[in-house]
């Protein structure tokens, strides 16, 4: 394929992608909505579990702390297909959680994505808490703050770093393929997400739909990063 033909092929794909999005193509938007539903629930659970765990890991010394930190740091680099395989073994029919029927469901995908996002939230929150000066905590305690006020004040001081942790985790969750493919089964109208649909449609030669879904994914990531930039600006003001 010559250079001109290749550019025509790409431009036609982009034009068709815009048409699919503009006319509200049901299959395309089904994948988008599924992705937003699953990723939003996954990051919410990751934050609810990860921020308290990260705070404790970063502020309290206890036996085995270094081992836990090493484990959390190791989980940061765990490939998505490995996470998918591990969770699959737990929720498949023969697994210990097989009786709940979680395989090839949105709930099963959420479990896998939480396993992906949780270590990121824990590790980055713990690092943020550790980076705060010890003098800050001592000053707060001297002022007679309660434990609840100490926790809230410390988290407020680390708010930007915690927000970065949340966005980093969300970016990993929303862009993964292995977990959604293995645990969701890429079922049309049910568990098919943006990334799994992109892989499937591009493999079938449906270049336009792949581009359309990719554009939506890029737009979501752009919005998330714009939010982070605005939050940083307001925090520095």
Is residue 200 a part of any domain in this protein?
no
54 assigned to some structural domain: yes
Domain assignment present for 65: yes
| pLDDT above 70 for 73 | yes
**How does DSSP assign 101-146, residue by residue?**
--TTSHHHHHHHHHHHHHHHHHHHHHHHHHHS-HHHHHHHHHTT--
Task: For residue 1, tell me if it sits in a domain.
Answer: no
Rounded average pLDDT over 87-91: 96
- Other C-beta atoms closer than 10 Å to the C-beta of 185 total 16
Q: How many domains would you assign to the chain? A: 1
Q: What is the structure's pLDDT at 14?
A: 78
Domain around 183:
27-193
Query: pLDDT of 154-170, one tens digit each?
Result: 888 888 889 999 999 99
Look up tokens 């591990």; give the residue: 86
In a domain, 61, yes or no: yes
Mean pLDDT of the chain: 88
Q: Element (H or E) spanning 172, and its range?
A: helix 159-175
| Residue 212 scores a pLDDT above 60 | yes
pLDDT at position 85, please? 94
pTM of the entire predicted model: 0.90
Residue 4: what pLDDT? 76
121 within some domain:
yes
Tokens 């036609």 sit at which residue? 12
Q: Give pLDDT, residue 104.
A: 95
Q: Is residue 59 included in any domain, yes or no?
A: yes
The encoded tokens of residue 184 equal 């969701």
Q: Give pLDDT tens digits for 100-157.
A: 999 999 999 999 999 999 999 999 999 999 888 666 777 776 777 777 887 888 888 8
DSSP state of 99: G
**CATH number (domain holding residue 123):** 1.10.3720.10
Q: What is the per-residue pLDDT for 3?
A: 63
For residue range 40-63, list pLDDT tens digits in order.
999 999 999 999 999 999 888 889
Is 86 inside a domain boundary? yes
Torsion of CA 44, 48, 51, 54, to 10 degrees: -110
What value does the mean pLDDT take over residues 173-189?
93
Q: Tokens 């943006």 label which residue? A: 194
């Amino acid at each position: 394929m010559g250079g001109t033909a290749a550019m025509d092929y790409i431009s036609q794909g982009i034009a068709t992608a815009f048409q699919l999005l503009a006319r509200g193509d049901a299959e395309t938007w089904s994948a988008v909505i599924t992705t937003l539903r699953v990723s939003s629930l996954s990051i919410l659970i990751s934050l609810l579990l990860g921020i308290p765990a990260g705070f404790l890991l970063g502020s309290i010394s206890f036996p085995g702390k270094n081992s836990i930190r090493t484990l959390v740091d190791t989980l940061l680099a765990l490939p998505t297909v490995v996470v998918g395989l591990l969770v699959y073994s737990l929720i498949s029919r023969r697994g210990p959680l097989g009786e709940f029927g979680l395989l090839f469901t949105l709930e099963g995908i959420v479990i896998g994505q939480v396993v992906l996002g949780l270590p990121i939230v824990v590790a980055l929150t713990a690092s943020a808490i550790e980076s705060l000066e010890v003098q800050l905590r001592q000053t707060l305690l001297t002022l007679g703050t309660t434990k609840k006020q100490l926790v809230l004040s410390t988290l407020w001081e680390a708010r930007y770093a915690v927000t970065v942790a949340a966005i980093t985790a969300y970016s990993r969750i929303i862009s993964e393929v292995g977990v959604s493919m293995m645990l969701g089964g890429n079922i049309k109208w049910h568990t098919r997400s943006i990334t799994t649909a992109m892989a499937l449609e591009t493999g079938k030669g449906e270049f336009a739909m792949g581009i359309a879904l990719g554009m939506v994914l890029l737009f979501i990531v752009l919005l998330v990063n714009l939010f982070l930039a605005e939050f940083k600006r307001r925090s520095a003001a």
